[in-house]
Structure 1
Amino acid sequence: MENINVGVIGLGAMGRGMAASLRRAGYALHVCDVREEAARGFAAEGGTACADPGDLGSRCDVVVSVVVNAAQTEAVLFGEKGAAAAMKPGSLFVMCSTVDPGWSVALERRLAERGLLYLDAPISGGAAKAASGQMTMMTAGTPAAYAKAGGILDAMAAKVYKLGDQAGNGSKVKIINQLLAGVHIAAAAEAMALGLREGVDAEALYEVITHSAGNSWMFENRMAHVLAADYTPLSAVDIFVKDLGLVLDTARATKFPLPLSATAHQMFMQASSAGFGQQDDSAVIKIFPGITLPEAKA
């Protein structure tokens, strides 16, 4: 472990686990979240809670941002009390959100003009893998950025893929992953909905599919939420409204057809419009008519 100060901005489902992994690795850790109580609660077990991104940026050599989207990343960096103005030249900003690849390329240039290093580093794996340090990172950046990161990436992730020597490819690979994730969730919901409509026992269907060729990680994981009637948002419907929108925007720029992605995007849009946007993404099953969903067991 290197004796450097590391900051994590955003203590949601993924960020909290990543911060915990860095703390276990022994880094001098600083945290910040829009919910001040979340930062204070985390720091009570080790680390320093910072008042705002600027406060954190002034204290840290490496800042890891784990917020929802590009707009929130802009606010973290360039908003009132943002980190960019406070970070010392030569410091590193690690961006872990799912964003437009072109935006990430531009961000690298903007930070370089301030003398700051940048890693395009979206993440995957879910909250449990983030908490155990077993998630995947899809990264791209300059050799200097990787050198500054040292062992920090490996402390947070079991798999750190290096996909290029400048920003962009990390975000491109992440949105391709999200294409598959979104389509698989939509297809899993459609399959379970058909089973329910046809009167098949939902738990029996789940058992058979998860031991057959039609299974997918998303079917096995998300349809378990449906069986439990638990739509607590580990990853919300609106995340896939955003992410599949990014997939389609990227493909549209080169007039590349994505028929399955477009259909899945419309399914998540329909679920969001029906009021399920903040529920778990498995709630996309609620758009299907004429079915009775499993109820929570007493």
Structure 2
Amino acid sequence: MGSAMAINLQKHLQGQGRALHVHNRTKEKAAPVVRQGAQWADSPAELAATCNVVFSVMANDEALLAVFESYLSGHPKPGSVFVDCSTVYPSTTEELVRKAQQAGVQYVASPVFGRPDAAAAKKLLVVSAGASDAKARVQPYQEAMGRGVLDVGEAPHLANVLKLTGNFYISSFIEVLAEGMTLADKNGLSREHVLAMVNGLFPSPIIAGYAERMAKDQFESTPENPGFSVTGGIKDLGHITRLGRDSQAPLPIAELTLQHLKEQEGGGHGDLDWGALTLSIRKAAGMHAP
């Protein structure tokens, strides 16, 4: 995900005669960006000392906290902007905003909606929250990586609330699609007919994409059809259900979806696309795995 976003950002900067400075905890994964002309940095601290605007895309809250500490150790110039595109818990962002303010850094939370293929095609929906001047400063870079920017105000953590709300909808669509297709299977209706109905009634690329994966049992991630892992889904659903409990907003669908994802991870399927939760539903219905 981050690699595809960085490549698009590098292309944008290259058109202006500039180059992206890039760091990744696993250097080899940054090779595609470096081949596009980006300059390698040995640490987030080096980025802080070199760049006035830094973007991060991390797998989880712990990784983001560690990277941000390294960034601050590089003594970023006052007025620098740190933009995080990760899916993290709102209180994590609030903690980082406090640390950024103490260091004279502006913080913009900018999680994105879309899979790696959408990132490569510059079709991400980018969320943005933070101080108005900081958002205006980084918007051209956000636009270089997506199809639009959704501004949700000046409180950065609200971008994370929106991201988790969006992922709640997406995961719920997956759960409902899986239950419905299993119901059709059990009653002798072909998955192809269900897929045609879904595409006719709910013309959304997200819904259609997951329905097709289920209909064709295509849960492995491939370069042509990259997925979002069961393990990643557990992290996101963990945040979603926690947010529901913390705010006393019951989310029974999210709790059930999380249960099905955990069953798949426990069965050794953590690397499959999270649409594989349909395997748990089929098992409960007495159906054999593909």
1:242 aligns with 2:235: yes
Q: CA deviation at 1:133?
A: 2.1
What pairs up with 1:167-246 in 2 under 5 angstroms?
167-212=156-201, 217-226=205-214, 227=216, 229-232=218-221, 234-246=227-239
Query: Do the aligned partners of 2:83 and 2:109 also contact (CA within 8 Å) in 1?
Result: yes
Corresponding residue number in structure 1 for 2:86: 97
One-letter code aligned to 1:204: H
Are 1:252 and 2:245 matched, yes or no? yes
1:293, distance to aligned residue in structure 2 (A) = 5.2
Q: Paired residue for 1:77?
A: 68
Residue number among 13, 20, 45 corresponding to 1:29 in the alignment? 20
Q: Which amino acid aligns with 1:291?
A: M
Kindly report the root-mean-square deviation, in angstroms, between the aligned alpha carbons of the 2 structures: 2.0
Consecutive aligned runs of 4 or more in structure 1 exceeding 4 Å deviation? none
2:124 corresponding residue in structure 1? 135
Cα drift, residue 268 of structure 1: 1.5
Q: Secondary structure at the match of 2:144?
A: helix
Q: Deviations over 1:183-205 (max 9, x none)?
A: 11111122222333333332333
Gap regions ≥5 residues in structure 1: 1-13
Q: Deviations over 1:91-118 (max 9, x none)?
A: 1111111111122122111111011111
Which structure has more helix as a fraction of its residues? 2
CA distance in 1 between counterparts of 2:4 and 2:196 reads 30
Matched residue SS, 1:189: helix
Partner of 1:265: 258
Unaligned regions of 5+ residues in structure 2, if any? none
What amino acid is the match of 1:182?
Answer: S
Deviation at 1:228, TM superposition (A): 5.3
Fraction of identical pairs, as percent:
27
Other-structure match for 1:4? none
Distance (Å, rounded) in 2 between the aligned partners of 1:121 and 1:105: 13
2:143 is paired with a residue whose SS is helix
- Residue 281 of structure 1 aligns with which residue? 274
Match of 1:235, SS state, is coil
Using the TM superposition, give the Cα deviation of residue 266 of structure 1 relative to its aligned residue in structure 2, in angstroms: 1.5
TM-score, normalisation: structure 1: 0.85
